Structure 1
Amino acid sequence: MLPRDTFLQGLKPTLHIAHRGGALVAPENTLEAFRLAVEQHRTDMLELDVHLTRDGEVIVAHDDTLERCTDAEGPLAARTLEELRRLDAGYRFSPDAGRTFPFRGRGVRLPTLREVLRAFPSLRINVELKPDVPGAEDVLARLLTEEDALGRVCLGSEQDAIAERLVRVLPDACHFYPRDALAAFILTLKAGEAPPEDARYSVLDMPLYFGEVRLVDDALLKAAAERGKWINVWTVDDPAEMDRLLQEGIGGIMTDRPDLLRQRMDASGKPG
């Protein structure tokens, strides 16, 4: 049986986490972005999203539809893996607000989760299952088991129903809090009460701000530490906020600017 804390074993703040591989420096959720984050920016963890293709393969992508990131349109789930592999996943990426598109026509493709796991066999990965499709959790669980990757992934969904199904099929894996469970933890704490105990989830993947309210504070850090919970905040691209979070000792910083975060971490002299 896999120990529940396998994913968290040996982790020390603050982790450098490339959000979608670094969505502001390379085409998001592609091997090109992931390699850049790992090889140039020394990321500690990749954050990515997965969907099911029409033929039941687990592919890495954030959106339900294709037009924002590729040269195609329409729902991702309507296409087979073979059809999706033909698309240009670097087509829309522009580092300068549409003046240039440096990755167009360079063979950038949507990768499968299996490809990512094999490309980075020792790296920890934060995996969000996107579609609310009954049975998707079983497909994902089978893939992770086949790849012997359960000890290095933390799983979850924004939607509580999906997250609960993932816990059910993989009870011994690391799971991050879904939206409602996360809100319950934070809101009760903000009200001066003890947050509810929930052994299903080990990691709080959470926004740094809710509106104008900064959610990370001493009380949250203390409550999480007392309960053995890890905190990763998203999506932090401002250098001043990076510096502050590093001083606070946050568990991990998810960023679309892994280049900038690496600069700030190296300048701070802190491990990571």
Structure 2
Amino acid sequence: MRRQVALAVGLLIAAAACGSGSGNENAVDSTAAPATGAPTTGAPVIAIPVTDPPVAEAETTAPSATEPGSTDAPATPVAPALAIGPASVEALIALSTPINLSHAGGDQAAPHSTMFAFREGVLAGADALEMDVQLTGDGVLIVQHDDTVDKSTNATGPVADLTLEEIQALDNAYWFSPACWPCQDRPVEEYIYRGIRTGDVEPPEGYSPNDFRVITFREAAEAFPNLVLDVEIKGSFPDAVPVAEQLAAEIAELGLTDRTIVVSFDDDLIDTFHKLAPDVAVSPGLTRLTEWFLNGTEIEPYFKVFQVPPFQGDIQVVDAETVQRVHDEGREVWVWPDDASTQENAEFYERLIDYGVDGIITGRPAAMVEALSG
């Protein structure tokens, strides 16, 4: 009984503290390989810019579309070779090896939710892309984890108070360090991509300043036309219903029904989305999963994938027994590591693979490739 109570409390804490993917706020990985950007110096700028900074032209002759309201040049499109992969959720699930889903592009290896991170994640071997979505103040669906811009950009303030133009002017790589993310107390030289977005530092070869900004959901979907998108709706019911409505509308408009799977911690919110888009794959939220783990309560058959953390506190959520239990119901297990300091590495990924999990939402996609080859 104590284990059941602890697990229930632990899952509730997970919902409050984390999104899908790595949730450790102060993880340090001294073994992380340095990325290839130029370090910059200078004190943090904690103010919201009111105009767009200088932006270099995208390095391509075939730019992707931008969202209405954005005055920026489009982000650098991804070469066709980078967009090859399982083009539907059904095909992804049918893979014979565990799925490598890059968390926000691989947030322990590149700046969270940037086009740069998603592209680098695919280059590193990701089979699919995990991302979070919410709305700007002017109603545009963007790829963004937190409800403020404080953690990753050179500004502070709620996302809901910013227009798309304002939020895309920000440096979304400002606080990324390969040794610790998110951390805002590292030596300034560790923030190796700082200033690329604002035109103060040259971008890595093949990229533009736009690849280090906040991107829209539409931009992500169009840049990777043959990859599955694992999308978490941020927020809770009923406040986040407009996010669910906009996501359902864009999935339909962009023809993404077969290649999108949607998840939320809030079961009421995921139920709202399912009513809007009944043909889009969905994963169950916290209430359903807790009842299933503790009481064996049945979950509707249209939930084909359970997305869960490996541990919560001292309680092991994912082990061989639990994975088999999910498989016995004809479902898949995708695991989102929630402690970057101990779980985002090949050794831990191998441990999950040995349990029989079907996918890992990876902060380090290259480490997952290593684990699969081990």
1:210-249 correspondence runs (5 A): 210-235=312-337, 236-249=343-356
1:17-36 correspondence runs (5 A): 17-36=101-120
The corresponding residue for 1:186 is 293
Residues 13 and 250 of structure 1 are in contact (CA less than 8 Å); yes or no, is this contact kept in structure 2? no
Question: In the alignment, residue 129 of structure 1 is paired with which amino acid?
Answer: I
1:8 aligns with 2:69: no
Find the structure with the greater CA-based Rg.
2
1:187-206 correspondence runs (5 A): 187-188=294-295, 194-206=296-308
| Deviations 1:184-234 (CA, angstroms, capped at 9, x unpaired) | 12222xxxxx44132242211100112122222333222222222111001
Cα distance in 2, alignment partners of residues 208 and 262 from structure 1: 19
Residues 125 and 366 of structure 2 are in contact (CA less than 8 Å); yes or no, is this contact kept in structure 1? no
| Deviations 1:47-71 (CA, angstroms, capped at 9, x unpaired) | 1100111111110010000111001
**SS at 1:128's partner residue?**
strand
Gap runs ≥5 in structure 1 = 1-5, 189-193
Cα distance in 2, alignment partners of residues 180 and 13 from structure 1: 29
**SS at 2:89's partner residue?**
coil
Residues 60 and 112 of structure 1 are in contact (CA less than 8 Å); yes or no, is this contact kept in structure 2? yes
Following TM superposition, by how much is the alpha carbon of 1:134 offset from its aligned partner in structure 2, in angstroms?
A: 2.9
Residues 143 and 215 of structure 2 are in contact (CA less than 8 Å); yes or no, is this contact kept in structure 1? yes
The corresponding residue for 1:149 is 256
Cα distance in 1, alignment partners of residues 291 and 230 from structure 2: 22
TM-score, normalized by length of structure 2? 0.66
Residues 156 and 166 of structure 1 are in contact (CA less than 8 Å); yes or no, is this contact kept in structure 2? no
Cα distance in 2, alignment partners of residues 213 and 134 from structure 1: 32
Following TM superposition, by how much is the alpha carbon of 1:241 offset from its aligned partner in structure 2, in angstroms?
A: 2.2
1:56 to 119, 132, 139: 139
1:176 to 271, 275, 283: 283
| Deviations 1:129-188 (CA, angstroms, capped at 9, x unpaired) | 113323321211110111111111110211112111111111111001111111112222
Question: In the alignment, residue 193 of structure 2 is paired with which amino acid?
Answer: F
Q: Give the fraction of aligned pairs with identical amino acids, expressed as a percent.
A: 32
Residues 133 and 243 of structure 2 are in contact (CA less than 8 Å); yes or no, is this contact kept in structure 1? no
Cα distance in 2, alignment partners of residues 21 and 222 from structure 1: 29
Cα distance in 2, alignment partners of residues 187 and 239 from structure 1: 30
Question: In the alignment, residue 121 of structure 1 is paired with which amino acid?
Answer: P
1 or 2, which has the higher strand percentage? Answer: 1
Following TM superposition, by how much is the alpha carbon of 1:21 offset from its aligned partner in structure 2, in angstroms?
A: 1.1
**SS at 1:83's partner residue?**
helix
1:74-113 correspondence runs (5 A): 74-97=157-180, 98-99=186-187, 100-107=190-197, 108-113=212-217
TM-score, normalized by length of structure 1? 0.89
Cα distance in 2, alignment partners of residues 31 and 115 from structure 1: 9
Cα distance in 2, alignment partners of residues 134 and 117 from structure 1: 21
| Deviations 1:44-93 (CA, angstroms, capped at 9, x unpaired) | 11111001111111100100001110011110011111111111101111
Gap runs ≥5 in structure 2 = 1-87, 181-185, 198-211, 338-342
Q: What root-mean-square deviation, in Å, do the aligned CA atoms of Structure 1 and Structure 2 show?
A: 1.5
Cα distance in 1, alignment partners of residues 365 and 178 from structure 2: 14
The corresponding residue for 1:207 is 309
